[in-house]
């Protein structure tokens, strides 16, 4: 009995390892394509060039492009777990768009965050700036309507938006191009 169970466990382990190795690269490519499409969507651009990428200590990732800046941020305290979003900012830190990259929220409730905060919807954050607006739910004294019956998800989403804005503020950015000041100066020196 022990030999049979051990054999089954070894065979199942080998099969899982094989499936993982076969699917690892396609999954990576799909995630990379989703990120690229997400950056284009949040910056409302059909084509763009990612000029640089910075990863901060808190896990936020800043993507500087020729069309603006996209910031990926994660709040670990959504109703179903972590909530990862991508937010597009213009040169004045105004939100141009957002996309949810990863969520474990309840379908039909918290999962509505992918549309609830879009332009024309009840909780619209497009055109707002965390620098000028109170980006918390109205129940907490903020300016944004929470998703009906999903206040925890709404709070997590808005915390992630605020984290994205804070990450943007940690790196000095040129308002004209979205490139860091240091990189701009390096390019000017190189061109002389």
Higher pLDDT, 25 or 57: 25
- Answer whether residue 30 is part of any domain: no
- Write out the residue range of the structural domain in which residue 158 sits: 41-191
3-state secondary structure of 4: helix
- Answer whether residue 2 is part of any domain: no
Q: Among residues 164, 104, 79, which one has the least CA distance to residue 130?
A: 164
Is residue 81 left, alpha or beta, with left meaning phi > 0 and alpha meaning psi from -120 to 50? left
- Answer whether residue 8 is part of any domain: no
- What Cα–Cα distance (Å) separates residue 169 from each residue in 11, 15, 60, 91, 162? 51, 47, 12, 12, 11
Enter the tokens of residue 36. 């690229």
What is the rounded average pLDDT of the residues 126-133?
A: 94
- Answer whether residue 5 is part of any domain: no
Assign 102 a pLDDT band (cuts: 50, 70, 90). confident
Count structural domains, the chain. 1
Q: What is residue 171's predicted lDDT score, i.e. its pLDDT?
A: 59
Instruction: Tell whether the torsion through CA atoms of 30, 36, 40 and 42 is positive or negative.
Output: positive
pTM above 0.95, yes or no: no
- Answer whether residue 87 is part of any domain: yes
What is the rounded average pLDDT of the residues 26-42?
A: 92
- Answer whether residue 32 is part of any domain: no
Q: Among residues 59, 78, 73, which one has the least CA distance to residue 147?
A: 78
- Answer whether residue 27 is part of any domain: no
- Answer whether residue 36 is part of any domain: no
Q: What is the DSSP letter of 136?
A: S
What is the tens place of the pLDDT at every residue in 152-173?
999 999 999 999 999 988 755 4
């Amino acid at each position: 009995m022990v030999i049979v169970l051990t054999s089954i466990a070894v065979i199942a382990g080998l099969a899982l390892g094989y499936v993982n190795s076969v699917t690892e690269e396609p999954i990576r490519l799909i995630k990379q394509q989703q990120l690229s499409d997400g950056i284009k969507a949040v910056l409302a651009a059909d084509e763009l060039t990612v000029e640089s990428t910075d990863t901060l200590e808190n896990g936020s990732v800043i993507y500087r492009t020729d069309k603006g800046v996209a910031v990926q941020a994660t709040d670990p305290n959504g109703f179903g777990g972590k909530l990862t979003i991508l937010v597009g900012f213009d040169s004045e830190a105004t939100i141009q768009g957002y996309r949810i990259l990863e969520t474990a929220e309840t379908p039909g409730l918290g999962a509505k965050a992918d549309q609830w905060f879009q332009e024309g919807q009840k909780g619209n954050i497009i055109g707002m700036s965390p620098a000028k607006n109170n980006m918390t739910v109205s129940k907490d004294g903020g300016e944004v309507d929470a998703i009906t019956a999903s206040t925890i998800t709404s709070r997590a989403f808005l915390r992630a938006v605020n984290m994205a804005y804070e990450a943007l503020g940690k790196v000095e950015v040129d308002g004209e191009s979205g490139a860091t000041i240091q990189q701009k100066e390096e390019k000017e020196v190189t061109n002389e």
